[in-house]
């Protein structure tokens, strides 16, 4: 496993370095600490700030190298990921209220959109990474995220919660299912596409020896994910991203990931899927084909 850990060597960038050390020790990873300086900052200053970190990494048995460059952090980080293949890119950010952000949330999201590897956005304080929240709606986009989560949770180790957010249908859900825990069990017992996807994700994680819980929430996706983070006991939230979304799909799906990156006060792992979501036309064609097969199957 190869990690690219981006930091400016300052105190405000200490969280990403601490979390990276935790992941590197657990996963026996090779680490490149990448320090990018603006025109007003000397590379030597960044190097000195990061050299102490390297000593801590080496004391923990981590194979680590230090690379420093001058330029725009977003541009240089994207360029670095294209020069060398990494399994995980780690960057640090803070909320908009903190003007000292290592990389502002908007620029963090710009990196997420441009690089191929999963991106770990370190927000807030250092955490044990013992409880991981995976946001899933089933389908192809989240499959890679579940696989990456399994590797991470197995090495740390960590327990995983699979969270699905459904539209709030008011009295309909209230009359059918009284508790979220019961809702999750009922959903998993159903034969819906979402149930099959959730069941497969749960089984794949459990096959790796990971403790898995399934939770449902009702409402707007981004809002409910953020509520779960506030109310639950989670150290890391994992979200998927579809490759090359069109403008409409970017509006519907991409904005959820963007909102999480901008608003969450927990570390975030964004994993780009390897399969794109079928277009609306493709989904309609498939639905019609299934209906035709069902009708033909019912004929005597």
Question: Residues 220-241: what's their mean pLDDT?
Answer: 93
Residue 277 to residue 170: CA distance in whole angstroms:
29
pLDDT averaged over every residue in the chain:
82
Residue 192 to residue 136: CA distance in whole angstroms:
15
Q: Provide the 3-class DSSP secondary structure of residue 271.
A: strand
Q: What is the CATH number of domain 131-280?
A: 3.40.50.620
Residue 145 to residue 268: CA distance in whole angstroms:
12
Q: What are residue 163's DSSP bridge partners?
A: 135, 215
Residues 225 and 237 sit within 8 Å (Cβ to Cβ): yes
Q: Provide the 3-class DSSP secondary structure of residue 91.
A: strand
**Percentage of residues in the chain having pLDDT higher than 70:** 76
- Among 198, 247, 257, 194, which Cα is nearest to 222's? 257
CATH topology of domain 2-123: Rossmann fold (3.40.50)
Question: Residues 78-84: what's their mean pLDDT?
Answer: 96
The encoded tokens of residue 249 equal 């799909």
Q: Domain ranges in the chain? A: 2-123, 131-280
Question: Residues 277-294: what's their mean pLDDT?
Answer: 56
Strands (E) in the chain, as ranges, are 2-6, 30-37, 63-70, 88-93, 119-123, 131-135, 159-166, 212-218, 236-241, 268-272
pLDDT at 28 over 70: yes
Residue 96 to residue 109: CA distance in whole angstroms:
13
pLDDT digits (tens, 9 = 90+) for 39-56: 655 666 677 778 888 899
What is the side-by-side order of every strand in the sheet holding 30-37? Answer: 63-70, 30-37, 2-6, 88-93, 119-123, 268-272, 236-241, 131-135, 159-166, 212-218
Residue 222 to residue 170: CA distance in whole angstroms:
19
- Structure pTM? 0.84
pLDDT digits (tens, 9 = 90+) for 239-262: 988 765 554 444 444 578 889 998
Q: Would you tell me the crossing angle of helices 255-263 and 105-114 to the nearest 10 degrees? A: 140
The answer to whether domain 2-123 and domain 131-280 are alike in fold is: yes
């Amino acid at each position: 496993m190869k990690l690219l850990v981006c930091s400016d060597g300052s105190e405000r960038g200490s969280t990403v370095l601490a979390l990276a050390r935790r992941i590197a020790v657990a996963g026996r990873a090779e680490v490149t600490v990448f320090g990018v300086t603006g025109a007003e900052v000397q590379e030597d200053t960044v190097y000195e700030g990061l050299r102490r970190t390297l000593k801590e990494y080496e004391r923990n048995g981590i194979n680590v190298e230090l690379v420093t460059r001058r330029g725009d952090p977003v541009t240089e980080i994207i360029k670095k990921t294209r020069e060398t293949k990494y399994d995980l890119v780690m960057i640090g950010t803070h909320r908009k209220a903190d003007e000292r952000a290592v990389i502002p949330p908007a620029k963090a999201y710009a990196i997420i959109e441009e690089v191929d590897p999963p991106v770990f956005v370190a927000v807030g304080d250092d955490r044990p990474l013992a409880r991981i929240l995976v946001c899933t709606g089933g389908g192809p986009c989240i499959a890679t995220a579940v696989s990456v989560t399994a590797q991470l949770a197995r090495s740390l180790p960590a327990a995983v919660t699979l969270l699905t957010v459904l539209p709030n249908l008011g009295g309909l859900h209230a009359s059918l299912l009284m508790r979220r825990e019961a809702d999750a069990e009922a959903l998993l017992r159903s034969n819906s596409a979402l149930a099959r996807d959730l069941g497969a994700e749960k089984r794949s994680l459990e096959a790796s020896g990971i403790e898995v819980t399934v939770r449902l929430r009702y409402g707007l996706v981004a809002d409910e994910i953020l509520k779960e983070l506030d109310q639950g006991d989670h150290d890391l939230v994992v979200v998927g991203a579809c490759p090359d979304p069109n403008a409409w799909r970017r509006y519907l799906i991409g904005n959820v990931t963007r909102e999480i990156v901008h608003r969450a006060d927990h570390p975030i792992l964004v994993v780009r899927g390897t399969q794109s979501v079928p277009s609306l036309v493709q989904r309609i064609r498939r639905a019609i084909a299934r209906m035709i097969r069902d009708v033909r199957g019912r004929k005597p």
